[in-house]
Structure 1
Amino acid sequence: MKTTGNTVFISGGSAGIGLAIAKKLQAAGNKIIINGRSWERLQKALGELNGAEAIQGDLSVEADRIRIADELKTQYPDVNIIVNNAGAAFGYLLSEQTNAYEKAQIEMNTNYFAIVHFNELLIPHLLQKEEAAIVNISSLAVYGSHKLLPTYGATKAALHSYTVALRYTYQEQGNLQVYEVYPPLVNTEFSAYIGGANGIPASEVADELFAGLAGNQFDIPVGETKRYAAAVGEAMSKLASEEAA
């Protein structure tokens, strides 16, 4: 995938991982459009970016998803990379009886259903491009859950399964590439309540994504996640060898 001359839309781009990706890709010569719910936070982020633009809206809301997709296609017709970074997570203990069902609904809607729908709205447009990409930001949580994030991991596991299927669907066409990034704990405001200060910098995620795009590396584990990915890869290779024998 080319790493310059793209028009890139980044959800959740006003802070954290999304803003770090925006900075990295803009520095490489790409046009950046960031999205977020807060206009104030978007304006602050734009002050850290040179010539980027913003679309305010909540992608977890169907009407906003449709509006934003339409705006991208009409006002930014050159858009050819979509980075699905916006997410929701609740830190709590299931033993606290704190409406786990409602929290899980919000997480699943934001982290999975909204992404499936938003991609569906934009894929026909992306397929018209000579080169296009969808980047889904998942998580180390794909490999297992944490008691302080009891329902979040399941949403990222669902996103992973969908991403793999999406990649298989379009791999023969060649012009639409599907990437998945697996950050571990990252030092952002989003992760503060689970010890985010001990995590890696968001810029490391952006650097790994950039390298992945440049090398057509569709699965992009970051930091600690590389150990898990390597272990799974080794186990799958061993299983394939045993079946072949």
Structure 2
Amino acid sequence: MKTSNNTVLITGGGAGIGFQTAKLLSEQGNHVIITGRTAATLEKAVAQLKNVTPIVSDVSKEEDVIALVKKLNAAFPTLNVVINNAAAAEVYRLEAGVNAFEKASREIHTNYLSVIRLNELLLPLLEKQAEAAIVNVSSIVAISPGARLPGYAASKAALHSYTQVLRHTLSETNIKVFELMPPLVNTEFSKEIGGENGMPPEAVAAAFLEGLATDNYEIHVGNTADFYKLFLSSPAEAFATLNNRR
């Protein structure tokens, strides 16, 4: 997949992995559109970037997504890369009284169902391009779940499964389907689970760009690659390692 002269949409592009990916892609000669729920976050991001357009849009809200797709078709008819990065996560244990259903509902809706909706609505536009890509950002916990992130892990596992089927379905079209699987990353998003010990988001963005350029459709970033090998050899050992029970 070419890594320059693209028109790129990044959901949740105002901070963390999304911001660093927007920065790197804009520096590579791409026009980048970033979305997020709050104008202030997007304005702060755009002030540090070049050739980036902000659009306030919440991927979890149907009316926002419909308005976004309409605007993209009208103002950015050359859109050819969609990076589904926006996500929701809550730290909790599956115990009585934690409202796990409500928490998981938000996570599943934002991290999985919203991705399906946006991708489907953008397929007609992507199909018009000479070369196009959909990138779904999942996680190391899509391989084996983290006990402190039960809803988030389940949503990312669902996203992983969906991505594989979408890639198979679109394999004979102009649309390539990628999955970016980062480990723990040092962002505000992951602060509650020790994100300060994680991988820098700019390193994740660099690994993603390398994977995109080489058509590495399932991009295992950092220690996700070793963890995946461990999972293949022993799912129980992988689960124990991720949850610090060895």
TM bucket (normalised to shorter chain) is: over 0.9
The residue that corresponds to 1:227 in the other structure is 226
RMSD of the TM alignment (CA)? 1.3
Q: Which one is further off, 144-153 or 79-88?
A: 144-153
3-state SS in 2 of match to 1:136: strand
Matched with 1:188 is 187
Unaligned residue ranges in structure 1 (runs of 5+):
236-245
Mapped to 1, the partners of 2:148 and 2:134 lie a distance apart of 30
| Equivalent AA in structure 2 for residue 57 of structure 1 | S
CA-CA distance at 1:233 after TM superposition: 6.2
Give the aligned partner of residue 143 of structure 1: 143
Structure 2 alignment gaps of length 5 or more: 235-246
The residue type paired with residue 221 of structure 2 is: V
Q: Which amino acid aligns with 1:50?
A: K
Look up the match of 2:244.
none
* Structure 2 match to 1:240: none
Cα distance in 1 for residues equivalent to 2:176 and 2:71: 22
> Which residue of 2 is the match for residue 198 of structure 1?
197
Whether the 8 Å CA contact 2:144–2:231 is kept in 1: the answer is no
Aligned partner of 1:211 in structure 2 is 210
Q: Which moved more, 1:225-234 or 1:113-122?
A: 225-234
SS across alignment from 1:58: coil
Alignment-derived partner of residue 240 in structure 2: none
Structure 1 residues 28 and 89: alpha-carbon distance in aligned structure 2, compared to 1, 3 A threshold? same
The residue aligned with 1:100 is: 100
State the distance in 2 between where 1:156 and 1:132 align. 23
The number of aligned residues is: 234
Q: Pairwise mapping of residues 43-54 of structure 1 onto structure 2 (< 5 A)?
A: 43-54=43-54
Aligned partner of 1:238 in structure 2 is: none
Deviations 1:10-43 (A, max 9, x none): 0000000000100111111100110000100000
| Preserved CA contact (<8 Å) 2:26 2:51 | no
Is 1:170 aligned to residue 170 of structure 2?
Answer: yes
Q: Which residue type is aligned with residue 200 of structure 1?
A: M
Shift of 1:147: 1.9
TM-score by length of 1: 0.93
**TM superposition outliers: structure 1 runs of 4+ over 3 Å:** 230-235
Mapped partners of 2:70, 2:125: distance in 1: 10
**Aligned-partner residue type, residue 143 of structure 1:** I
SS, match of residue 55 in structure 1: strand
* Deviation at residue 78 of structure 1 after TM alignment: 1.1
User: SS of the residue aligned with 1:154?
Assistant: helix
| Alpha-carbon distance between aligned partners in 1 of 2:2 and 2:86, rounded to the nearest angstrom | 24
Structure-1 residue corresponding to 2:74? 74
Using the TM superposition, give the Cα deviation of residue 230 of structure 1 relative to its aligned residue in structure 2, in angstroms.
3.2
Instruction: State how far apart, in whole Å, the 1-side matches of 2:128 and 2:113 are.
Output: 24
What letter is aligned with 1:151? G
- Paired residue for 1:239? none
What is the CA–CA distance in structure 2 between the aligned matches of 1:228 and 1:167, rounded to whole Å?
23
Aligned-pair CA distance for 1:234: 7.1
d(CA) in 2 for partners of 1:107, 1:57: 17
For residue 75 of structure 1, what is the amino acid of its counterpart?
A
Larger displacement relative to structure 2 (47-56 or 108-117): 47-56
